[in-house]
Structures are given as structure tokens and as C-alpha cells.
């Protein structure tokens, strides 16, 4: 879309257009919504973005989002350290928590292996996962990456690395919508997938 707006308006449209899932038309619509909004509403949005960026970072153990050094799940002594669910993104933790079936800990890879997008294991938190498995008394790793091509490839890659360590490696069961993301699965389906997880073979 050609730039027909002046400085700050175009800058706002450009920035909004860089957000995931926001195309040029939506960016324009949101920009004009904000320009029409009451000044305090628009300023509140700007403030919460800055505030979130300033105060929230990554948990140094599991790489979930966290306000402190450790996230809420890593700080919780009631959770079972022997059981570790590996997910792609922090939002997948939210999906698994909704099932109320899981009382172990999490590890967030911050993505999945995707040759097309140039994402290999070295861009993910794989080294950190192996260190945790070694140091934290983990006996089972549940591979809860998404049921799509990237998620499956990532699960298989991790299984090959983890199985020689002699621990139980499981994959959440099929039954989840293929090609979808965990975050879109309802909690009953996801709860069943977790319960019906199966051993991964080398």
C-alpha cells in the first residue's frame, strides 16, 4: 500500500502492520480507531506496552514469560520436577494449564524447528533443556510441541537426543486437530491427548 498519510499517522500504520496477523487494511483501521479514541485510552495502551516490555522477560530456568528471575511455575514447590513438558511457546503452557491434568514443570523452546524459516535447534532452547534434564532429576519428558510438521519434526529431533539419557520420553497423543496449534485445542481434547501420551521410540 502506498504511503498516503503524513509522518506520524503513516508511522503508526507501519508499526501496527508489523504485528502478527495484522495486514495493511487492518493496520489502517486500528490506526484510525486509535486516532479517534479518547487520548487517555490511547495513552493507556501505549503505557501497558511499555510497562510489559520493561517488567516482563524470560524465566531463566524454563524460558516462559516471567516478571522475576523465575516464572510462577518454576517458583511453585508443589509441582513435580521429575515430569517435564516441552512446549514451543509460553501460550502453550496456558493451554496445558487449562486442562488441569498436568502438575509437572515446563520448558519453553521458544519456537520449533523449521528449515523453511531457517530455524534450527541452535535457535531454540535445546541446550538448556538438556542441561535441565541432566541436573533436575527429570524422569519423564513429555514432548508437547504442536501437532503440525514443524512440531512433529521438533519432537522427533528431541526424542533422539533425550532417549540415550535413559529417561521416559513421551509424545502427547494424536486426536488433536492435525496441523493445528495446541492453543486452539479445547481443554477436554488436550487433556485426553496428555493422558493418552505414548512412549517415543528411537
Residues in contact with Zn ion by CB under 5 A are 59, 61-62, 64, 71, 74
| Residue closer to Zn ion (CB basis): 62 or 141 | 62
| Residue closer to Zn ion (CB basis): 61 or 197 | 61
- Closest of 114, 109, 119, 110 to residue 141, by C-alpha: 109
Considering the complex, what minimum distance in angstroms separates the CB of residue 163 from Zn ion?
A: 25
Considering the complex, what minimum distance in angstroms separates the CB of residue 59 from Zn ion?
A: 3
| Residue closer to Zn ion (CB basis): 61 or 132 | 61
| Residue closer to Zn ion (CB basis): 27 or 62 | 62
Considering the complex, what minimum distance in angstroms separates the CB of residue 71 from Zn ion?
A: 3
Distances (CA, A) of 79 to 33, 105, 142, 192: 44, 6, 15, 20
Considering the complex, what minimum distance in angstroms separates the CB of residue 196 from Zn ion?
A: 26
Q: In whole angstroms, what is the distance from residue 164 CA to residue 115 CA?
A: 25
| Residue closer to Zn ion (CB basis): 31 or 62 | 62
Q: In whole angstroms, what is the distance from residue 143 CA to residue 186 CA?
A: 18
Q: Please count the other Cβ atoms lying within 10 Å of the Cβ belonging to residue 108.
A: 25
Considering the complex, what minimum distance in angstroms separates the CB of residue 60 from Zn ion?
A: 8
Say how many Å lie between the first and final Cα of the chain, rounded.
Answer: 50
Q: DSSP 3-state assignment of 144?
A: coil
Amino acid at each position: 500500500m502506498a504511503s498516503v498519510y503524513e509522518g506520524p499517522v503513516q508511522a503508526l500504520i507501519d508499526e501496527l502492520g508489523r504485528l502478527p496477523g495484522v495486514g495493511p487494511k487492518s493496520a489502517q483501521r486500528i490506526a484510525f480507531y486509535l486516532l479517534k479514541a479518547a487520548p487517555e485510552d490511547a495513552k493507556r495502551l501505549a503505557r501497558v506496552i511499555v510497562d510489559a516490555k520493561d517488567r516482563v522477560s524470560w524465566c531463566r530456568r524454563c524460558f516462559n514469560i516471567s516478571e522475576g528471575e523465575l516464572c510462577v511455575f518454576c517458583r511453585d514447590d508443589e509441582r513435580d520436577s521429575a515430569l517435564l513438558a516441552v512446549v514451543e511457546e509460553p501460550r502453550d503452557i496456558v493451554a496445558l494449564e487449562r486442562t488441569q491434568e498436568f502438575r509437572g514443570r515446563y520448558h519453553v523452546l521458544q519456537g520449533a524447528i523449521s528449515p523453511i524459516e531457517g530455524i534450527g535447534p541452535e535457535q531454540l532452547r535445546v541446550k538448556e533443556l538438556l542441561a535441565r534434564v541432566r541436573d533436575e532429576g527429570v524422569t519423564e519428558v513429555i514432548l508437547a510441541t504442536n501437532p503440525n510438521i514443524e512440531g512433529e519434526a521438533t519432537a522427533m529431533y528431541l526424542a533422539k537426543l533425550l532417549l540415550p539419557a535413559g529417561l521416559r520420553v513421551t509424545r502427547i497423543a494424536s486426536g488433536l486437530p492435525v496441523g493445528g496449534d495446541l492453543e486452539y485445542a479445547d481443554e477436554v481434547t488436550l487433556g485426553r491427548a496428555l493422558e493418552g501420551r505414548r512412549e517415543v521410540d528411537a
